[in-house]
Amino acid sequence: MPTVGILGAGAMGAGIAQVAATAGWDVRLIDVDPATATAAITGIEKRIERSVAKGRMTCEQGKTLMQRLHASVMTDLNNCDLFIEAIVEDLNIKVAAMTPAIEVLPESAIIATNTSSLSVSELGERIGQPARTCGMHFFNPAPIMKLVEVVRGKSTDDALLDRVADIAASWGKQVARCADTPGFIVNRVARPYYLEAFRCLEDGVADPATIDDAMRSIGGFRMGPFELTDFIGHDVNTATTRSVWEQWDRPSRLSPSATQERLVSDGTLGKKSGCGVYDWSGDSPVCVLRPPQDGRTASDGLSGPASEFCLKATIDSDSAAKASDAQRIVFTRILLAVLNEAAWAAHDGVAEPADIDIAMRAGVNYPRGPFAWSQDIGESVVSETLRALDDSVDDGRFSPPG
Ligand SMILES: NC(=O)c1ccc[n+]([C@@H]2O[C@H](COP(=O)([O-])OP(=O)(O)OC[C@H]3O[C@@H](n4cnc5c(N)ncnc54)[C@H](O)[C@@H]3O)[C@@H](O)[C@H]2O)c1
- Which residue is closest in CA terms to ligand 1's atom 17? 10
Ligand 1 atom having least distance to the Cα of 116: 43
Ligand 1 atom having least distance to the Cα of 89: 41
- Is the pLDDT reported for residue 86 higher than 90? yes
Ligand 1 site, residue 187, Cβ cutoff 6 A: no
- Which residue is closest in CA terms to ligand 1's atom 40? 89
Residue percentage of the chain with pLDDT more than 70: 98
Tell me the sheet residues that pair with 84. Answer: 6, 112
Give the tens place of pLDDT for each residue, 374-394: 999 999 999 999 999 999 999
Q: How far is CA 85 from CA 96, 113, 148, 162, in A?
A: 12, 5, 14, 19
Cα torsion through 264, 265, 267, 268, rounded to 10: -50
Question: Which pLDDT value is given to residue 10?
Answer: 97
Distance CA 326, CA 265 (A): 29
- Look up residue 318 and give its amino acid: D
Question: Which pLDDT value is given to residue 293?
Answer: 76
Q: Are the beta carbons of 159 and 144 closer than 8 angstroms?
A: no
Question: Which pLDDT value is given to residue 298?
Answer: 56
Cα(390) to ligand 1 centroid in Å equals 40
Cα(163) to ligand 1 centroid in Å equals 24
Which H or E run includes 150?
strand 147-152
Question: Which pLDDT value is given to residue 83?
Answer: 98
Cα(13) to ligand 1 centroid in Å equals 7
Question: Which pLDDT value is given to residue 402?
Answer: 85
- Look up residue 129 and give its amino acid: Q
Give the tens place of pLDDT for each residue, 249-277: 999 999 999 999 999 999 999 999 999 99
- Look up residue 394 and give its amino acid: D
Ligand 1 site, residue 89, Cβ cutoff 6 A: yes
- Is the pLDDT reported for residue 219 higher than 70? yes
Distance CA 66, CA 49 (A): 10
Catalytic residue positions? 116, 137, 149, 187
Under the banding of pLDDT at 50, 70 and 90, the label for residue 82 is very high
Question: Which pLDDT value is given to residue 292?
Answer: 84
Cα(197) to ligand 1 centroid in Å equals 30
Question: Which pLDDT value is given to residue 102?
Answer: 97
- Which residue is closest in CA terms to ligand 1's atom 9? 115
Q: Are the beta carbons of 3 and 28 closer than 8 angstroms?
A: yes
Q: How far is CA 350 from CA 115, 149, 186, 318, in A?
A: 16, 11, 10, 36
Ligand 1 atom having least distance to the Cα of 236: 3
- DSSP 8-state assignment for residue 79: G
Give the tens place of pLDDT for each residue, 141-198: 999 999 999 999 999 999 999 999 999 999 999 999 999 999 999 999 999 999 999 9
Give the tens place of pLDDT for each residue, 281-328: 999 999 999 988 765 555 668 888 999 999 999 999 999 999 999 999
Tell me the sheet residues that pair with 287. Answer: 278
Ligand 1 site, residue 88, Cβ cutoff 6 A: yes
Cα(94) to ligand 1 centroid in Å equals 10
- Is the pLDDT reported for residue 334 higher than 90? yes
Averaged pLDDT score across all residues of the chain: 96
Question: Which pLDDT value is given to residue 301?
Answer: 80
Top mean-pLDDT range of 119-123, 201-205, 305-309 = 119-123
Bridge pairing between strands 110-113 and 82-85:
parallel
Query: Measuring CA to CA, which residue among 208, 246, 219, 180 is closest to residue 337?
Result: 219
pTM of the shown model: 0.96
Domains and their CATH numbers in the chain: 3-180 (3.40.50.720), 188-392 (1.10.1040.50)
**Cα 87-89-92 angle, rounded to 5 deg:** 90
Distance CA 365, CA 299 (A): 28
Q: What are phi and psi of 171, to 5 degrees?
A: -90, 10
